[in-house]
Amino acid sequence: MRTVRDVDVAGKRVLVRSDLNVPLKDGRVADDTRIRKALPTIEHVLEHDASKLTVCSHLGRPKGKADPSLSLRPVADRLAELLGRPVAFADEDGEVRLLENLRFEPRETENDPSFAKELAGHGDLFVNDAFGAAHRAHASTVGVTRFLPSVAGLLLAAEVEALGRLLRDPARPFVVVIGGVKVADKIGVIDRFTELADAILVGGAMAFTFLASLGIDVAASRTEDAEGQGIARRALEDAKRRECELLLPIDVIAADKVDADAATTVVPVAEIPKGWMGLDIGPQTIELYAGWLGGAKTIFWNGPMGVFELEPFAKGTLAIAQAVAESDATSVVGGGDSVAAVNMAGVAERITHVSTGGGAALELLEGKELPGVKALEEAAS
């Protein structure tokens, strides 16, 4: 891949695809992390005297129809504040402009060449900086590269480099923390990491599917069906064969309901009261996992350890964030929830690389080729 640093942008009209898919609340940007991460490329283009800059992105999944609640206008406003200069929006004219949500147009996700060509009309050069959308073969990530000279933005290049480094000869011990709801969603990376990592620490609802697959009674905890449990059991067997330690929680915070005022108790995993459910990892598990993280030289973390949006079940996830920050390891955190946890714990600055990619980061780590990256590689050759 060539990056925006390798080309001359002076006097050119530049089209930048960013991933500005940010959470909105009451018509305002609720978390501007992705906008901030898009700034270096945008600023690079402006500082190197591009004649015009057009930024484009998707927001949410409007399914090819205009949906005012998914307009990028609030993002244009925030981008203008962060850049300290006006940002024209949609059909307005301006030196810097953000287009309306690309997914209001059905031809975007269909990767329709006619839409790719229309997008290409905004520039003499295309810069793809949307790492978070690099696993999507859409008009703005792949199609447009057929019509314009195309290079990677600084964020996309840094993401590919930081995540790729985990796969190439990581310093050991290499410890992976995986949480979240469904085993099936993460099995690709779990499988890859049973080959690459020294230990995988499992948390979140998926831990109960693993525990249930071993015949442990987890009471009313959320578990997957026989298929999901089969996937979990095979992962445990693979880990053993490949000499990777796959650790499961030993104790949990159990509650009678998923609610901030639920009654709670700390119990060993096999002793969750009847009708109650595990909603976070317990203190002994935190100690065990923090011990592994403290000794690690490389760490990758994706997915929360519990229902961390609710204060009584946030301790496990925040403790992991703290342990990752305190370790001397090269640390990479990916996925919206774990990134939110790192921000909540106030330790983002102490993580080596906080990825803006959820699905894209997981697919890259699984070893899948990302269409957006492949298109840039082809453009370079």
Q: Whole-angstrom Cα distance, residue 381 to residue 369? A: 17
Q: Whole-angstrom Cα distance, residue 103 to residue 89? A: 16
Using the contact rule CB under 6 A, the part of the chain among 37-45, 130-138, 202-210, 236-244 near ligand 3PG is 130-138
Q: How far is the CB of 132 from ligand 3PG (least distance, A)?
A: 4
Nearer to ligand 3PG, 247 or 340 (CB): 340
Q: How many CA atoms lie within 13 A of 214 on its CB side?
A: 15
The single residue among 133, 154, 247, 305 that binds ligand 3PG, judged by CB under 6 A, is: 133
Tokens of 103: 């997914």
Q: Whole-angstrom Cα distance, residue 75 to residue 79? A: 6
Nearer to ligand 3PG, 170 or 371 (CB): 371
Using the contact rule CB under 6 A, the part of the chain among 45-53, 131-139, 214-222, 239-247 near ligand 3PG is 131-139
The single residue among 28, 61, 85, 257 that binds ligand 3PG, judged by CB under 6 A, is: 61
Q: How far is the CB of 41 from ligand 3PG (least distance, A)?
A: 16
Residue numbers 15-54 binding ligand 3PG by CB under 6 A: 19, 21
Q: Is 132 in the site for ligand 3PG (CB under 6 A)?
A: yes
C-alpha distances in angstroms, 254 versus 141, 203, 220, 224, 277? 44, 14, 10, 18, 5
Q: Is 159 in the site for ligand 3PG (CB under 6 A)?
A: no
The single residue among 44, 136, 192, 222 that binds ligand 3PG, judged by CB under 6 A, is: 136
Residue numbers 300-359 binding ligand 3PG by CB under 6 A: 358-359
Residue numbers 356-375 binding ligand 3PG by CB under 6 A: 358-359
Nearer to ligand 3PG, 19 or 100 (CB): 19
Residues that contact ligand 3PG, how many (by CB under 6 A) = 8
* One-letter identity of residue 74: P
User: Under the rule (CB under 6 A), what is the footprint of ligand 3PG?
Assistant: 19, 21, 61, 132-133, 136, 358-359
